Amino acid sequence: MNLTGQKKQILDMLSEAGDEGVTNRDLNLVAFRYSARIDDLKKKGFDIRSKRVKGSLWRFILVRPVLVTPQAPKPPPGKPTGPAQQSLFEITHFGEATLYAPKEQT
């Protein structure tokens, strides 16, 4: 999962805060529309709960720890990837992953 910008900042804040959570006042410093970013994170599967503290003050808590699956490493820079190098391989794309399989020789 690739999170960037405000969503990443909010998720980092929630993760660091633990059970204590983060108030809407703190989240408002990151994103004026923090509630939309919280909703985006919930749609991605994060369990975020809200609790009213007093008046218009709310506390947001990330319930479960977040396990992020590392992305496959990119090939080192400068490695040849031109047609001469790829001619011996079938190239299949799966979303962001690319599979290089030997071609059958005829």
- For residues 24 and 58, the answer to whether their CB atoms sit within 8 Å is yes
Q: Does residue 50 lie in a domain region?
A: yes
Percent of residues, the chain, with pLDDT higher than 90: 30
In a domain, 43, yes or no: yes
> Residue 102: inside a domain, yes or no?
no
Does 19 map to a domain?
yes
pLDDT tens per residue across span 70-106: 556 666 666 555 554 444 444 454 455 544 444 455 5
Task: State the Cα–Cα distance between residues 9 and 53, nearest whole angstrom.
Answer: 22
> Beta 22-23 vs 57-62: how paired, if at all?
antiparallel
pTM confidence score:
0.58
Residue 26 structural domain: 5-62
Number of domains in the chain: 1
- Crossing angle of helices 34-43 and 5-17, in 10° steps, is 80
* Residue 62, CA distances (Å) to 70, 76, 80 in order: 21, 36, 44
